[in-house]
A and B are shown apart, each in its own frame.
Chain A
């Protein structure tokens, strides 16, 4: 039997309105009912309420008590529309107030004020999706302390994050990138450039500096205005997210990857009057590789369109990336405008530190030279250099006051920092291992010598281990004990082991050179 139920709603009644899903209708009070211009569509102006589960946790804390799950609060935020379609109204409900707590007690809750009711007909459900959440880290009550003395000042300046206004030792590269991008902007054409170099050679910082200068030039009307967009392959979960991020940076629109690709395709291939040039920086390009390479293909294909006015700057670590991973049609679109950043030489590193310190006298000359020579010999990574200097200032600060010292960071401090950061801990680890573990390592080497191989099963090593125990006059070890020692060495990767399920059959290899082991064991 079918019963047609008609619901009659009057102004002043409380109602349920269709929500995100069926289980969670919204609650509101009808203020006014009206029809729109055509008169067909019935609408209602409502006063919204929020349920406890919808109130942000931070605001809920201000309430100062545990709210009832069916309690509702008056909502006075301005972020949602007060008009609803009459069709979306589900049914009237009854709202009871004041039966548990004092009625109409105003509670000052941060920016909005909430009043509370007791609401009895809605079961508590899942919260509403936060749509307008703003990304932010809470701010601290007191501002961070300023650096107090010379060493602290030097440390703040030496932090990798305090990038200087202009990068020393990268003038030539700056000039090249600048003229490339400037010419494209002025001509209103597009193009690609590939920048490579090992990490820590100032690639991203240089491009950012170029962009800052061009922006300044555009502000004083020397060149036409342009957009600057930046994406980073490592900051995406999936190569196709590149489309989403580019679109969001260009227009503020949110879309799925496929839709964003289509929108961008349309935008870059159609002509539009007064179109601005877009400069796109793609960092960590190798992460955008997909099997079909369609992301890379699109990124390099768009600049070749007539109306695109797109300049793409790509950054990656390896010099031969286009030849290695790109198929021909992608590599050919990337073109031949390439630039490679050489690792810093020791003089350049020294100059970088000097310019960062900028007349703050905290280092001895020789100490600086030592750091830069060491780093240049190893990698030429400026980040490493700055980190070591920073560590050296810490060591200097905590070293006992020497009456003859100048209070500056000297050779000894820098040496200590270098040792800390560059030396491997294997030898110390072997020296600090327990006696049985050391014996096991000895047994491994003895067995390797006997076999002439670099690999042996645990069983073979264990025979040697027992023999060594006898020689040393210790109690014989059981297999479990020997295995435990072996596993401990395997866990800190002094040994490389097969899965431990294999028990005595697992094969053992050394992860350090035999000479290192012998050297470490010799002393005691």
Chain B
């Protein structure tokens, strides 16, 4: 295909591929806003109406956006803000304050940030003056002086809202909600959180002042919609400079989505999680395999990317262990089988291992005690085993009780794939009793 395309194209293939990478990476990694949010029209309308009333009518409101991670909460809010600010009147009057629970870890920092973003008069340059108490007094006084019709409405956006509920006394939340429920400067408080039980975190008086509006973003995406989304996410837009290339690319994506094996892989991803972000991750891995030599996504790319996504981390770690360490793991597995998950110590593992050596009468793995202890400690450093209680100083290392942090299926799977695993070790692992 590349030969014909290259002849008719307005741009060379290299240029086109660069453009494709550019556009799709913007979409997949930088969370570019879509023109129209999909599947959340009702929520979009509700939030837009609410914020519009704050911006234009000066009505105070509070609302929480709740949904699992990667469900598009921030995207929804950004879309709403973009649509809201198209209105000239709203754009001129609305003040925005963005806070994040991960950055503003206590009320002191949050208050400085609010004052700074509002450009109140105790701010010079980027510095906020005065103590915590003065800042709070100043902000509350400023908000109290405002009134519904004449002062500019303020939009407070609290990302990771549940973390704000852990601040001392929830002072900030109380004050914001209190302002939104009293005749002061008009404000809208929008909280974003992934916790469904967020209202239970609020104190009684804070909860009473919150308006109990919650916008739930729970995606009920069917598999057909999921496939459609994969297609739209990978398709090139109409404005692509080389229309022939774009046409070919979009056709390629369409046949890709129709492919049976691809559909199977996507079905598996859909079953495991419906969130858009993990889908983006998968598509990004596919996209990174597109080059000038291979200017299209093939089903094999998707299979490879999916293999990467589903790889088991712990099983991969087991591949990198030495034979001795693997033997210790197998000994631990047997101990777990025999004693039904009771914790073990180094001595017990060593004994189990010695039993194996005696039976096999093979001196190949006849290591000294310190070597085995070293291997044991290495396993602990990799956190494949973990002390039962944190007090490491009290007991001797050999007698400290440990637990294995692996599932048996992981051990067996890793053994199958282990490069040049000795047969007797494999047999020992298979045997039910050590």
Contacts and interface: CB of A to CB of B under 8 A. Distances in A.
A432 B89 CA distance: 38
A377 interface: no
B415 to A, nearest CB: 15
A161 B183 contact: yes
B185 A479 contact: no
Instruction: Give me the 3 closest cross-chain CB pairs, A-B, nearest first.
Output: A199-B208, A144-B58, A133-B121
Most buried by B among A163, A237, A284: A237
Interface in A483-518: 484-485, 488, 491-494, 501-505, 511
A198 B204 CA distance: 9
A139 B151 contact: yes
Contacts of B66: 425
Interface string B222-257: 000000000000000000000000000000000000
B21 interface: no
Nearest to B107: A237
Contacts of A425: 66, 196, 214, 216, 218
Interface string B151-162: 111100000000
A437 B142 contact: no
Nearest to B314: A479
Interface of B: 45, 49, 56-60, 66-69, 89, 92-93, 95, 107, 118-125, 127, 129, 132-133, 136-143, 145-146, 148-154, 169, 171, 174-175, 178, 181-186, 194-197, 204-205, 207-209, 211-214, 216, 218-220, 268, 270-275, 310-315, 383, 386, 403, 405-407, 409-410
A488 B120 contact: no
A163 B195 CA distance: 33
20 contacts: A56-B121, A127-B125, A133-B122, A135-B120, A137-B118, A137-B152, A140-B152, A140-B153, A144-B57, A234-B174, A234-B175, A238-B133, A317-B204, A425-B218, A478-B312, A480-B313, A485-B273, A492-B67, A505-B403, A505-B405
B165 to A, nearest CB: 13
A121 to B, nearest CB: 22
A69 to B, nearest CB: 12
Interface of B is mostly: mixed
B139 A135 contact: yes
Contacts of A481: 272, 310, 312
A437 to B, nearest CB: 7
Interface of A: 53-54, 56-58, 126-130, 133-145, 147, 152, 155-156, 159-163, 198-200, 234-238, 241, 244-245, 284, 287, 317, 381, 383-384, 387, 391, 394, 398, 420-421, 424-426, 428-429, 431-437, 459, 462, 466, 474-475, 477-481, 484-485, 488, 491-494, 501-505, 511
A488 B69 contact: yes
Contacts of B123: 57, 130
Most buried by A among B119, B175, B185, B409: B409
Nearest to A397: B49
Given A234-B169, A432-B219, A57 B152 contact: no
Nearest to A436: B272
B6 to A, nearest CB: 41
Nearest to A201: B208
A434 B274 contact: yes
B409 A200 contact: no
Contacts of B137: 245
A162 to B, nearest CB: 7
B56 A144 contact: yes
Given A135-B138, A136-B142, A478-B315, A244 B271 contact: no
Contacts of B409: 466, 479
Given A141-B93, A143-B149, 11 more contacts: A130-B124, A135-B145, A137-B143, A138-B152, A144-B148, A144-B186, A237-B133, A384-B212, A425-B218, A480-B313, A505-B403
Given A135-B141, A493-B197, A129 B129 contact: yes
Nearest to A437: B273
Contact of A492 (B45, B196, B273): B196
Contacts of B57: 144-145, 147, 152, 156
A161 B182 contact: yes
A138 B150 CA distance: 9
Contacts of B313: 480
Contacts of A238: 133
A517 to B, nearest CB: 13
Contacts of A435: 270-272
A383 B136 contact: no
Contacts of B268: 475
Contacts of B139: 135
Contacts of A431: 218, 220
Contact of A199 (B118, B129, B154, B204): B204
A429 B137 CA distance: 41
